[in-house]
Structure 1
Amino acid sequence: MSMHSLSPDFLRSPAPVHPALWRGADLARTAAPGVPSGFPVLDAEFPGGGWPVGSLTEILRTQEGIGELRILGPALAALSAQGRHLAWIAPPYVPYAPALAAAGIDPGQIFVVRTGNERQTLWAIEQALRSNACGAVLAWPQSPRYAELRRLQLAAEGGGRALAVLFRPEKAAAEPSPAVLRITLGAAAGGLAVRIVKRRGAPLDRLILLPAVAPQRLPGKPPGTAGVRQAPAKISIAC
């Protein structure tokens, strides 16, 4: 068909696209509802109005401990209030139960998986995502390759219910990734600077500044007092 044979109606009416694809002009209109972040300024820019579920999110930080868990705090508190289990896979530190409880997160809902190498870490992430039993899967892989990330993205899509977050260094922003949401975190005067590297829909070419004050607390029941559970990667993941 030549270009001259295209009718005006054809040019005005977009062709159907596969659900896994998105157009540059589409944003929250096409995204599934996400988990509210507790930061309205973030939710306004995240497709679906919050952290996506059933797909990978990458938080790329300039340094460890810069605030990557604080930015997830309200969402994790809301999920634990719903009785959802939270898997932490290969974290660089043991979650501190009193701090979690103070943030509204029930430590008894957290399941820490210890791994001995990158292969075990990636295996544990995939199993947790495919189990469809976790409200959130937080993981700290070392240097995952694109094919490995793609496998995790497919596992997240197959599970369909979990908030799946990978914590990686900021330099990984220069590498391709199948994650549907990628943000960088950096220090800013009195708070955090968030840059959306990738999202479904139109790009965002400005920083989002988050103050150091506590984010909006989402409604939920008071956290319990149980300790954080830990297990080696060799066990079956059943969050």
Structure 2
Amino acid sequence: MAHPLQELVHKGWLWQGREATEQLAPEQFIDSGWPDLNRRLGGGWLRGAVHELQVRCHFQGELALLMPTLVAQQKPCLWVNPPAMPYWPGLAHRQLARAPLWLQERDPKLALWAIEQALKSETLGIVVAWLNKPEAAVVRRLQQVAAKHDQLVFIVTAWQASTEARAYVNRLQLDWQNESLQIAILKRRAGWPLPAFPCAVSSFLPPRRQRSA
């Protein structure tokens, strides 16, 4: 006698998580530079999407995680409200071809407007924004603009003990433990959430950070 769960799968009444990836072509993804992360996300960072990176504190390795993707881009990226002024010599050492444009804007509405204009621009590439727990309507609006213009957005937010519903395509929680960056996937287009796994971002950290790590 078949197991009840197997009967539900056979009838198509049970969603199996991996079905989402079967509908997406490889060209719809951008390589994250981390094979384990690519596999868990179904192919990499989905184009035309907003991705959330939750951090306990700044500079835990979030930029090192994004560095392979930023390096591969031909267009300059925009950083909105970074917690510190970008250090161009350090970024150039990591082979970032162009210095990022950066903007400090305390007014949330003006910051949102600037992000939207960047997404609509054909001369700018990836947008990385540090926002303090943006409201659901803000994330939904950014997701609509990113999808329309096939742009990639990363929102760095504070660590959340309980995750409220947001329109992010992927939601990652970053933490530095056991001498490595641990990435937990809270939400993904590819299926169910996944527990934390190590990501070897140390190669993209400055030498002093590598020694401290």
Give the TM bin, normalised by the shorter chain: 0.7 to 0.9
Deviations 1:1-33 (A, max 9, x none): xxxxxxxxxx7579xxxxxxx973314322353
Change (3 A) 1:201 1:107: closer
2:82 pairs with 79, 87, 91, which one?
Answer: 91
Distance verdict in 2 for CA 1:29–1:132, change over 3 Å: farther
Counterpart of 1:69 in structure 2 is 63
Cα distance, 1:173 vs. partner? 5.6
Indicate the residue corresponding to 1:199 in structure 2.
188
Partners in 2 of 1:137 and 1:173 — Cα distance?
26
Identity of aligned residues (%): 30
Q: Which amino acid aligns with 2:126?
A: A
1:205, CA displacement in angstroms?
3.1
- Quick one: structure 1 residues 144 and 213, their matched pair in 2 at CA, closer, same or farther if it must change by over 3 Å? closer
Which of 120, 134, 138 in structure 1 is aligned with 2:124? 134
Cα distance in 2 for partners of 1:28, 1:168 equals 26
In structure 2, what is the equivalent of residue 157 of structure 1? 147
Q: Cα 1:136–1:212, aligned 2, differ >3 Å: closer, same or farther?
A: closer
**Between Structure 1 and Structure 2, how many residues are aligned?**
193
How far the C-alpha of 1:212 sits from its partner, in A, is 4.9
Q: Distance in 2 between matches of 1:145 and 1:204?
A: 22
* Larger gyration radius, structure 1 or structure 2: 1
Partner SS state of residue 70, structure 1: helix
Q: 1:172 to 1:35 in 2, by over 3 A?
A: farther
Aligned-residue offset at 1:213: 3.5
Q: Helix, strand or coil: the match of 1:174?
A: coil
Partner of 1:232: none
Aligned pair partner of 1:35 in 30, 33, 44: 30
196-205 vs 144-153, which deviates more?
Answer: 196-205
Query: Can you list the C-alpha shifts for 1:134-176, whole angstroms capped at 9, x where unaligned?
Result: 220111122321111111110111111x221000011176121
Whole-angstrom CA distance in 1 between matches of 2:57 and 2:50: 21
1:47-67 superposed Cα distances (whole Å, 9 cap, x missing partner): 2x1112201000011111111
SS state at 1:213 partner:
helix
Verify: 1:55 aligned to 2:49, yes or no: yes
What do you get for the CA RMSD once the two structures are aligned? 2.3
Task: Supply the distance in 1 between the matched residues of 2:23 and 2:203 (Cα, whole angstroms).
Answer: 30
TM-score of the superposed pair, with normalisation by structure 2: 0.82
| Runs of 4+ deviating beyond 6 Å | none
SS of the equivalent of 2:29 reads coil
Which residue pairs with 1:220 in the alignment? none
Whether contact under 8 Å (2:171, 2:188) holds in the other structure is yes
